[in-house]
Amino acid sequence: MKPRLDPEGLRKTKTWEYVVRFIFGGVVTTCTGLIAHRFGPNIGGLFLAFPAILPASLTLVQQHDGRAQAVDDARGARLGSIGLAAFAVVTWRTATTWPAVLVLGVATLAWVAVSVAAWAIWYGGRRSSVGARRRDPYRLA
């Protein structure tokens, strides 16, 4: 399976569904800010990687496209989160010594590279041989 752009998918989503995503994302972001205010930026920063609209999005994907698609989207989010960890590590190691533009650029490249590599490792093994174990589309792990 290759990632693809489906402009028709935008027509499936109703305005109220975008509002739900926006509100949910705002609530998660606010909670992260409150955690950072209470416990400091080191702890609050751990929560910034939480995909703010993922739970709302997965619910809507399940409604529109079924459980298998929602599970596949969750799997993709998990692989993207590995890339976010690479972004965080690059930022952590370089933020105090490099210019901000360079930190952001290199961290973004690390995120893309690690996410694409994780995708290739996860999905690339499916085509390796006829006798290879097929992953269950409903299993998250």
Give 32-72 as a DSSP string. Answer: HHHHHHHH-HHHHHHHTTS-TTHHHHHHHHHHHH-HHHHHH
Q: What is the pTM of this model?
A: 0.57
Say whether pLDDT at 121 is over 60. Answer: yes
Q: Which of 36-40, 62-66, 82-86, 99-103 has the lowest mean pLDDT?
A: 62-66
Report phi then psi at 29, rounded to 5. -65, -40
pLDDT of residue 28: 80
Say whether pLDDT at 125 is over 90. Answer: no
